[in-house]
Structure 1
């Protein structure tokens, strides 16, 4: 995949529309990635605006920083102030002032850079080391989890984070096949233990390893607790009238976003702007197949408040 193709963000126009970017405002892109959404926000902010972005992936941060520097060359004095934080977005509340944001955007999907680079170990489409860490500088790798976690805990995390019904069978096979060091080796073990059923064999059937790889990635990166921390902090960080826009890619993410917005509405903190999640049109899914599973939800803060 070329750099240009990597720079196509999911649901870009919808995200910018629901974020309601106003010149001179202060906006956060909690998931900078390759700066696709951030560059679109920056173009609308003007010189009095401020863009704050978070990403814990050093490779993505380096590319995004260059893209924003290139945009500065294009916009010149019309470029807003840009502040980049190379930490987890769960740290936002420690780094930002209360009720300081006009908008907060979070795209919870794994970036194309992570999926497409075999050495990052996120995908079974190309063989590489089992890593899966969004920040490869810290934490346990997927290889350590696969080879060190006991069978019951491994089965439980595959079931919980991958919603994989055959988790016990897969965990048993993984433990018997240890040591496992590459994505291809792990995918082969899973495929042998839990092959696609005849009734499921179709053009759109998931690869047998899909859910297990998802589970390992979520576990390694503590993705759900990160999301919960950001959603919990959002109403305290947003100004009255500020917008929260979140894009999720699987049910575990979307459920948390939906429940958070619904609870905020129940407490009178949010007005939910998306009765149903916004999804990609056919033109976008044809151009970017990864957008097929994307769901966007948005809310506007009605008043100062705090979740009970």
Structure 2
């Protein structure tokens, strides 16, 4: 999926590393939680046997339509029009309680960005929408009508790490009040003129972080990550693998912390000499330090430059007991 730079050709980010991370059994059951246009799914299907199965999720109607075409061509594949926060619910309904590998490729896809009417891009004039699922929820224009300056500043800081959050928030709300904020170009213009002149012409456009933060807010992406990752861990079979690609530090920290809580399950205070909570680890890191694209991939696909891949594996019961024994002694 894409970052803040728009490219018309859809090239799966960290494709081989991602597939290698979750694939272990050609006869297994796999889940692609972010189908997009199917770049990762098609690569995974190429490795599966006739017994293998792949289920994909996407909340974008256009992505689902592309997935349904693939499902007609390959009986091993199916797609759900659902956000991955519903992963556990859907897998339970299908009886998929022991999944071999589950992958997430977070963010917004290139096809979404390339459609001006979706409102994701500040390089094309479009409506203030930014919904990944255009059949649900409120577009950005409606959300902004009910946000306070303090709330908007917090959104820009938390989801965009925006240095000039206060100046940009004030500029956005003033433009709304003046009736001058109706399109993505208006939003870009407000961001551009809100930052100091010396910050307007750097390597990153002044609107980049704001568009990212507002997209995350509109689509409730952080809660989606919380729910999706938790459900994924619970539905992996022993030895099953979880792979997650993220594109900015906020997402990556969230993913790291969610998995780390399953790797180090003990919740006893550090001063306790012996673990008394009894919580056992359920995961281990296969790749705790994020895998990043090499120079060749970045040159071929510049939008991959900020991507980070983390990989973890579900423990067997015996492994969990053994690791709990090590962790349950002296802290």
User: Fold conserved (TM > 0.5)?
Assistant: yes
Q: Does 1:289 align with 2:302?
A: yes
Separation in structure 2 between the aligned mates of residue 251 and residue 36 of structure 1, nearest angstrom: 24
Q: Does 1:108 align with 2:106?
A: yes
Separation in structure 2 between the aligned mates of residue 89 and residue 17 of structure 1, nearest angstrom: 22
Separation in structure 1 between the aligned mates of residue 152 and residue 258 of structure 2, nearest angstrom: 28
Separation in structure 1 between the aligned mates of residue 155 and residue 228 of structure 2, nearest angstrom: 22
Separation in structure 1 between the aligned mates of residue 256 and residue 7 of structure 2, nearest angstrom: 34
Shift of 1:68: 4.9
Shift of 1:99: 3.5
Q: 1:38 aligns with which of 16, 20, 41?
A: 41
Q: Secondary structure at the match of 1:239?
A: strand
Shift of 1:60: 1.5
Kept in 2: contact 1:191–1:208 (CA 8 A): yes
Residues 161-203 of structure 1: CA distance to partner in whole angstroms, max 9, x if unpaired? 11112212111111211131100011101111114535x854x
Cα 1:183–1:37 change in 2 (3 A) is same
Structure 2 length normalisation: TM-score?
Answer: 0.83
Q: Does 1:117 align with 2:146?
A: no
Q: CA RMSD in A?
A: 1.9
The gaps in structure 1 that reach 5 residues or longer are 73-78
Shift of 1:248: 0.3
The gaps in structure 2 that reach 5 residues or longer are 1-5, 266-280, 321-331
Separation in structure 2 between the aligned mates of residue 297 and residue 47 of structure 1, nearest angstrom: 29
Structure 1 length normalisation: TM-score?
Answer: 0.89
Q: Does 1:190 align with 2:187?
A: no
Kept in 2: contact 1:24–1:49 (CA 8 A): yes
Query: What residue in structure 1 maps to residue 253 of structure 2?
Result: 255
Separation in structure 2 between the aligned mates of residue 25 and residue 216 of structure 1, nearest angstrom: 38
Query: What residue in structure 1 maps to residue 293 of structure 2?
Result: 280
Separation in structure 2 between the aligned mates of residue 109 and residue 155 of structure 1, nearest angstrom: 21
Cα 1:104–1:176 change in 2 (3 A) is same
Separation in structure 1 between the aligned mates of residue 238 and residue 81 of structure 2, nearest angstrom: 27
Most deviating of 158-167 and 46-55: 158-167
Shift of 1:155: 1.9
Separation in structure 1 between the aligned mates of residue 68 and residue 106 of structure 2, nearest angstrom: 20
Q: Does 1:59 align with 2:72?
A: no
Q: Secondary structure at the match of 2:311?
A: strand
Q: How many residues align?
A: 292
**Superposition pairs of residues 1-308 of structure 1, within 5 angstroms:** 5-6=9-10, 8-69=11-72, 72=73, 79=74, 81-97=76-92, 99-178=97-176, 179=179, 180-195=181-196, 197=198, 201-202=201-202, 205-267=203-265, 268-303=281-316
**Whose radius of gyration is greater, 1 or 2?**
2
Most deviating of 242-251 and 282-291: 282-291
Q: Secondary structure at the match of 1:92?
A: helix
Kept in 1: contact 2:34–2:56 (CA 8 A): yes
Shift of 1:80: 5.2
Shift of 1:57: 0.2
Kept in 1: contact 2:172–2:190 (CA 8 A): yes
Q: Secondary structure at the match of 1:170?
A: helix
Most deviating of 79-88 and 287-296: 79-88
